[in-house]
Amino acid sequence: MFLRRSTFFIGALFLLSLSKEARSFDYTVKVATEAVYSPQVSFCIVDLKYRKNNLKVCELGEGAYSGFHGHERLFGPGKIWSNFWDFLASFRTPFYFVDPSNIFVRLRAQQQHNDQWSSATFAQHGGRVVRSFQHLDDTINKQKKQYKAQALGQSLLPDKTTLVMFHLPGMLFNQSNKDKITQLRYPDTVFVDAMTHPFVLNKLLTHKLFMQDQNLVSFRPQCLILPTGYTSDMVKKIQKTIKSDHYVVKPIADTHGNGIMMISKQELGQTLQKMFCRGYSYDRDPLIAYWQKSRAGSFLVESHESSDPIEVGDKHYDATMRVAFGIYYSEGTVGISFLGAYWKLPSLALEDTGPLTKKLKSRIAHGTKCSAKVAPAVYNEVKAILSAMLPPLFIKMIEDRHSKPR
């Protein structure tokens, strides 16, 4: 039993009487921490650039928020979600999905032939959906009584562990929901994604975690955080700090690639002026227009990192790899299960003529050639590197959250 006296919540809420055939974890390691913390479980993605033995993390994200259309195009619908349900099943404990909007049931009904959430695997593991916190409370209460009755005979689940997940992890951080959570009569409940959510949705917080550990610094591109608004010394400051022929401009707290631009060294000054100087009319380029309308107080500039070019058809692409994984912490142990990976392709190949962003920024779109399989040998190399990188990063998130008042 990996998780003692604990309950897990994820996105919408599911209750699982987990099957006995659960997948094993790909990697587990004992870690030294400042204290013994409560169990944590998360479903995440990492977008990265990879050259032989050189991995750079572009950003982290939440699996529950992420689209896996590129993976589905290659392997069919629901494979990553199916692996995620198997990951949760490895804990051999009941599992709930809180879903006030009933979206999981509706999607399950609509996607019988395109089951993106792998509801069949979810059901196979005994998954249940509850519609509200009140229903969750009632269901857990009934389950506890069942445990008590069973314990009179053979104790099947001596640790009385429960897992819970929300469809939208942000539900955990709504103040009204926070109050309801603290009022639950079962303090051993663990909410999936509760620990990682604040970090993976904020690129600045993610970057700072890497910068706090000399063993993690090398996994990030060179980076500079700047206030929005053009200044005369901005270009010199960027070029002095970041040695690169191409730069990546990113918003701190947006998702799905919104606002991400690739800018050449030669065009850096002119582009920044268009983005931030008053007096410029709204640009027809939607990325420039994004920044002209943005009210963010700061932004990130990074060195552009390239992957080894991959060949698709007769062309070569500077692709970005997306890796989905489940990760947990319990009693000094961190475990990881890798759930799937694929290359996300830019709109244009390296041989094509066109805007730099379209050649360097990956783009997943329906009906286009937007993804490619990762060679098994490359995937194994990436998993080995991530298995060393992710545990200390996860522990830093846990320690950072516990060091700050709630």
Give the pLDDT score at 19. Answer: 32
Cβ-based neighbour number of residue 46 at 10 Å: 23
The total number of structural domains in the chain stands at: 2
Residues 190 and 58 in one domain: yes
Structure tokens at 178: 């926070």
Give the pLDDT score at 124. Answer: 87
pLDDT in tens, 252-298: 988 888 899 999 999 999 999 989 886 666 657 888 889 988 888 99
Residues 96 and 143 in one domain: yes
Which domain-ending residue is among 285, 303, 321? 303
Residue 239 sits in a domain of what CATH number? Answer: 3.30.1490.20
CB within 8 A of 18, min separation 6: which ones? 88, 89, 91, 92, 93, 94, 95, 125, 126
Residues 146 and 243 in one domain: no
Is residue 211 in some structural domain? no
Residues 28 and 154 in one domain: yes
Give dist(CA 344, CA 329) in Å, integer: 29
Could you give the angle at the alpha carbon of 52 between the alpha carbons of 80 and 396, nearest 5°? 60
Could you give the angle at the alpha carbon of 207 between the alpha carbons of 202 and 209, nearest 5°? 100
Which domain-ending residue is among 303, 326, 356? 303
Residues 12 and 135 in one domain: yes
Is residue 228 in some structural domain? yes
Distance of CA 9 to the CA centre of its chain: 16
Cβ-contact 204, 225 below 8 angstroms: yes
Residues 154 and 93 in one domain: yes
pTM: predicted TM-score of the whole model, two decimal places: 0.87
Task: Please give the residue that has the higher pLDDT: either 383 or 333.
Answer: 383
3-state secondary structure 293-338: HCCCCEEEEEECCCCCCEEECCEEECCEEEEEEEEEEECCEEEEEE
Is residue 358 in some structural domain? no
Residues 157 and 271 in one domain: no
Residues 263 and 125 in one domain: no
In this prediction, what percent of the chain has a pLDDT beyond 70?
75
Is residue 351 in some structural domain? no
Cβ-based neighbour number of residue 87 at 10 Å: 25
Is residue 206 in some structural domain? no
Residues 387 and 277 in one domain: no
Residues 172 and 273 in one domain: no
Cβ-contact 22, 103 below 8 angstroms: no
Is residue 311 in some structural domain? no
Q: Tell me the residue range of the domain where 187 lies.
A: 7-200+379-403
Residues 56 and 173 in one domain: yes
Is residue 364 in some structural domain? no
pLDDT in tens, 50-96: 999 899 999 999 998 888 999 999 999 899 999 999 998 888 777 78
Give the pLDDT score at 396. Answer: 94
pLDDT in tens, 350-389: 999 999 999 999 987 665 679 999 999 999 999 999 999 9
Give dist(CA 43, CA 400) in Å, integer: 19
Is residue 146 in some structural domain? yes
pLDDT in tens, 4-27: 333 334 443 333 322 333 346 899
Which domain-ending residue is among 257, 277, 303? 303
Residues 246 and 174 in one domain: no
Q: Mean of the pLDDT values across residues 27-50?
A: 89
